[in-house]
Amino acid sequence: MPDSVAHRLLCWYDRHGRKNLPWHEDRNPYRVWVSEIMLQQTQVNTVIPYFQAFMARFPDVHTLADAPVDDVLGHWSGLGYYARARNLQKAAQSVVIEHHGEFPADQAQLEALPGIGRSTAAAILAQAFQLRAAILDGNVKRVLARYHAVPGWPGQTQVMKQLWLHAEAHTPDKRIRDYTQAIMDLGALVCTRTRPDCHQCPLQQGCSAFDQSEVARYPGGKPKKPKPEKTTWMIILEDRDGRVLLERRPPSGIWGGLWSLPELDAAYTADELSQACEDSFGVSCTDAEISDGFRHTFSHYHLHIQPARLAVINGHRVADPSSTRWVFRDEALSLGLPAPVRTLLTSPAQPLLL
């Protein structure tokens, strides 16, 4: 139909859509997949330099599958949601072992890979293989929730089911690659979360939310709950050579698998930190130098980080080199680090008095 959603979107895309993003240069399954994972809950402008650096280091699925995990996490450091990077490498290894290095052009087989859900699998099929598959990322949810005035938070099962039905219904049989990019672009550029430019929208005619003058109502927001507050000492132990102690975090949970500064319970006073470091890390230290604390917010709680620097006088106990390292700051920055740790290690610091 000439006035269908797909037709209007494609006409708009031909004039206004984004056609020169880095992952458009060679739209093979590997590049599409990496870009889709990076773009989950992350803005395009943030992703672009990460994608380019990642492709330079890991140009194909075999290189990624064989790389040291620290190298993968290091190239992801700063993007957040680090489980994405760990699953990315696990999926690469599965593609190499189970599919002989070739991504399957099958929805179910793609969804069986770690970290790939229904929408990401569909994006790979549509963008890389040009097969008809409906996508439903955050931008698309917003466009469809407004166009059809679907009430409620998309994280709710019934709301998601409705949005998937609409996504399937509007997905055309032709120009599938352009259509999936078009509807994502519309959500990113026009039908934005705040201050949508409805008068430039090709879907204004027929948009239920616009007709009701209630665009801001859709999609519904996630029910808010107060986030718990937690506090921790983040310890910068520095030896005479200027090396700092890093510990690898457990593979699951917050910052899973990343290298981080040691932490101590907030119940310790500043005067107790030197003894606590000796007890916990097997090193004798000077008294702690306390700097300004700051708050880091996760999806489900706020963490108040109180940094403390201590000069090591004696002892360099390393029980397990795979989980504990003394490294120079420049060396540390090549590892996968949580953003707050990277900030602390790159902040100018005066020499500690021994």
**pLDDT tens digits, residue range 187-231?**
999 999 999 999 999 999 999 999 999 999 999 998 888 889 999
Give dist(CA 67, CA 69) in Å, integer. Answer: 6
Boundary of a domain, candidates 197, 217, 237: 217
Structure tokens at 271: 């005067």
Peptide bond into 219 cis (omega under 30): yes
Structure tokens at 298: 């996760």
Give dist(CA 225, CA 239) in Å, integer. Answer: 43
Q: How many domains does the chain have?
A: 2
Quote the pLDDT of residue 317. Answer: 65
Q: Do both 285 and 202 map to the same domain? A: no
Contacts of 119 (CB under 8 A, 6+ apart): 135, 136, 137, 140
Q: Do both 195 and 49 map to the same domain? A: yes
Contacts of 92 (CB under 8 A, 6+ apart): 61, 62, 64, 65
Boundary of a domain, candidates 190, 217, 244: 217
* % of residues, the chain, pLDDT over 90: 80
Looking at the domain assignment, is residue 223 inside a domain? Answer: no
Residue 1: pLDDT over 60: no
Which residue(s) pair with 115 in the sheet?
Answer: none
Bridge pairing between strands 229-238 and 302-314: parallel
Looking at the domain assignment, is residue 259 inside a domain? Answer: yes
Quote the pLDDT of residue 3. Answer: 52
Q: Do both 161 and 289 map to the same domain? A: no
Q: Do both 310 and 178 map to the same domain? A: no
Q: Do both 204 and 235 map to the same domain? A: no
* % of residues, the chain, pLDDT over 70: 95
Looking at the domain assignment, is residue 354 inside a domain? Answer: no
Looking at every residue in the chain, the average pLDDT score rounds to 92
Mean pLDDT, residues 2-16: 90
Q: Do both 73 and 178 map to the same domain? A: yes
Boundary of a domain, candidates 217, 243, 271: 217
Residue 321: pLDDT over 80: no
Q: Do both 244 and 310 map to the same domain? A: yes
Looking at the domain assignment, is residue 351 inside a domain? Answer: no
Greater confidence (333 vs 13) lies with 13
Active site residue ranges: 36
Q: Do both 208 and 241 map to the same domain? A: no
Residue-by-residue DSSP string for 287-320: PPEE---EEEE-SS-EEEEEEEEEEEEE----S-
Q: Do both 187 and 51 map to the same domain? A: yes
Q: Do both 213 and 252 map to the same domain? A: no
Residue 104 identity:
P
Mean pLDDT, residues 145-167: 96
Domain of residue 296, residue span: 229-346
Q: Do both 272 and 330 map to the same domain? A: yes
Looking at the domain assignment, is residue 255 inside a domain? Answer: yes
Residue 123: pLDDT over 90: yes
Q: What is the CATH number of the domain that holds 127?
A: 1.10.340.30
Residue 241: pLDDT over 50: yes
User: In terms of pTM, does the model score above 0.75?
Assistant: yes
Give dist(CA 232, CA 295) in Å, integer. Answer: 10
